Structure 1
């Protein structure tokens, strides 16, 4: 496992290249978002998604999956939404929100059978630079915390996952403990499934 220290105002391009190369090779990373640190992989690599699900002990076929996109234009390739949803996403993104939208078929096998996908565009330059350079979305699932200190501390996460399939920990200082606000857009409205860090602006 490698640990790369990156700050939003000082992103080392050499480290970024290595992170993206690892993702393209099916690697797994822990990385910062604008809420909680996340475990992720190339969202179009089916085997890597299954590995993330194994690390988190998730049943991939029954678990809601979330992807991080670079911008709303990229979201159109993976999810279906109308003008109302576009306006609300534009009002709130980038930001600490997960929008649940109908999934499109471009997503890989691990998404098959799911009718929805979670969409995030975090207000975090590191996550967004990784997605931009990768050229397509990252899978995103929060690092589960044993306690508050663990959830904030990437060095402790690196110790915990040292013998796992995690290849790189992107350490960017202390993370947050409050998750994103989850907004379900699939029933014609904007239903808050989980109130988190973000206050939705309609």
Structure 2
């Protein structure tokens, strides 16, 4: 049965975040709020937790999972970033964007794309999630919380609890999230002199980045 953490959206209780982090460190998968929608999240270095996350969503190994990072310095530990890419990332973070970048050796092979060696990364603009990431002290592996066979994300924490309580270790309820996915931008072409490519237009404002 999933533990339920009802936290204040602006001043999340440290005691509850600490309990949620303990579940992550024990290999649990959590439902967490983001600046785009609720997401599933787990410890990056726990293979069984990552496998469980994929099973909940019914995703195969070719599906890009995303690393939730606290800031650009943390992101740069897991992706190769040149000066052009960094300038765009700096303008866009934190925010509702997911960036596809070349993965470094710090990223476990099971997490990066099996043929392209790329990884999706983002720095979310959500206070509770930022506090959770700080308490955890490392990025979290994540994917949008969409039920198998459905196309829309679930943004009501009570509904998440009811539908997934036997599959999740916990639900962090910080109120409703925007029901719109992130904008996904592939930055890998920039590494060879090309331009960033928009893979999906979502909540993140592309015009603000000149895209």
Alignment of 1:1-202 (within 5 A): 1-60=2-61, 62-111=62-111, 113=114, 115-144=117-146, 151-164=154-167, 166-188=168-190, 189-200=195-206, 201-202=209-210
Q: CA deviation at 1:147?
A: 8.0
Q: Give 3-state SS (helix, strand or coil) of 1:49's partner.
A: helix
Q: CA deviation at 1:163?
A: 2.0
Q: Gaps (5+ residues) in structure 2?
A: none
Q: CA deviation at 1:76?
A: 1.3
Q: Give 3-state SS (helix, strand or coil) of 2:172's partner.
A: strand
Q: CA deviation at 1:162?
A: 1.7
In structure 2, distance between residues paired with 1:27 and 1:139? 12
Q: Give 3-state SS (helix, strand or coil) of 2:134's partner.
A: helix
Q: CA deviation at 1:101?
A: 0.2
In structure 2, distance between residues paired with 1:53 and 1:24? 18
Q: Give 3-state SS (helix, strand or coil) of 2:48's partner.
A: helix
For these two proteins, the number of residue pairs brought into alignment is 199
Q: CA deviation at 1:11?
A: 0.6
1:45-98 Cα offsets, whole Å, 9 max, x none, are: 2221111011111112x1111100010000111110101111111101000000
Q: CA deviation at 1:172?
A: 1.1
| Structure 1 runs (4+) greater than 6 angstroms displaced | none
Root-mean-square deviation (CA, aligned residues, Å) is 1.6
